[in-house]
Each structure stands twice: as structure tokens, then as C-alpha cells.
Amino acid sequence: EVQLVESGGGIVQPGGSLRLSCAASGFTFSNYWMNWVRQAPGKGPVWVSRIKSDGSGTTYADSVKGRFTISRDNAKNTLYLQMNSLRAEDTAVYYCGRDRNYYYLDVWGNGTTVTVSS
């Protein structure tokens, strides 16, 4: 079964850090670009970051550039999102998604919740 499972979310104070993980199974992880998408409570999904299949290229939404770092370990079939200098507006459910044709996400994880609050 093709599956993505996120972990690492939690409650953190403003200015703090968290690292999210996304474990992939059931497909050849190293063949696919991957994305992080977040969704604030009651809002629509918002793209956060993307990484190429071999990790050679990354892109970020302006709102997280310089604070978040996407990476992957193809030997471990795992995607990561290092989040630093967290702000209240980063509070959201974070999903990882498998990229197809450079835009649509055909497989999504179950999400992990990040809450930034003092």
C-alpha cells in the first residue's frame, strides 16, 4: 500500500524549532519530487516547500523562506521539514504530498499538527 506518515508535530513557543518527518512506503520514494503543504484551522491548504527526487533542488514559499529547510534521505525513504524561528502564523496541520507532473499531489499523509503559542 502506498503510504505517507508524518510525525514530529507539537506545541512550541514563538521563536522555537521543530523537525517534521514524513515516512514513505509502498513506492520508490527516490523517484518522486515531494512537497510540504500546510493548512491553518478553518482555512484552505497552502503550499510550503518542494524538493526534487534526488534532493538537488528545493523551493520555498516566501512566508517560510530562510526559516524552514526541506530535506530528504532516500536511503531511509523519509522526507523532513526543519522549522526554525516559528511564529504564531505557522500554526497549522502539516501534510507531506507526493508530487506528480510538477503540480498535483496524488498521495497525502495524514498530517501532523504544529501549534506555536506562548
Partner 1 sequence: EIVLTQSPATLSLSPGERATLSCRASQSVSNYLAWYQQKPGQAPRLLIYDASNRATGIPTRFSGSGSGTDFTLTISSLEPEDFAVYYCQQRGDWPPLAFGGGTKVEIK
Binding site for partner 1 (CB under 8 A): 35, 44-47, 50, 59, 61, 95, 100-106, 108-111
CA distance 36 to 18: 14
Question: Nearer Cβ to partner 1, position 110 or 117?
Answer: 110
Question: Nearer Cβ to partner 1, position 16 or 67?
Answer: 67
- 33 CB-near residues (< 8 Å, 6+ apart): 50, 51, 52, 53, 99, 102
**In the complex, least distance from residue 48 CB atom to partner 1, rounded to whole angstroms:** 10
Question: Nearer Cβ to partner 1, position 44 or 66?
Answer: 44
Amino acid at 57: G
**In the complex, least distance from residue 37 CB atom to partner 1, rounded to whole angstroms:** 8
60 within 8 A of 38, measured Cβ to Cβ: no
**In the complex, least distance from residue 44 CB atom to partner 1, rounded to whole angstroms:** 5
CA distance 82 to 28: 23
All cell numbers assigned to 2: 502506498
CA distance 35 to 58: 10
Question: Nearer Cβ to partner 1, position 7 or 16?
Answer: 7
**In the complex, least distance from residue 108 CB atom to partner 1, rounded to whole angstroms:** 4
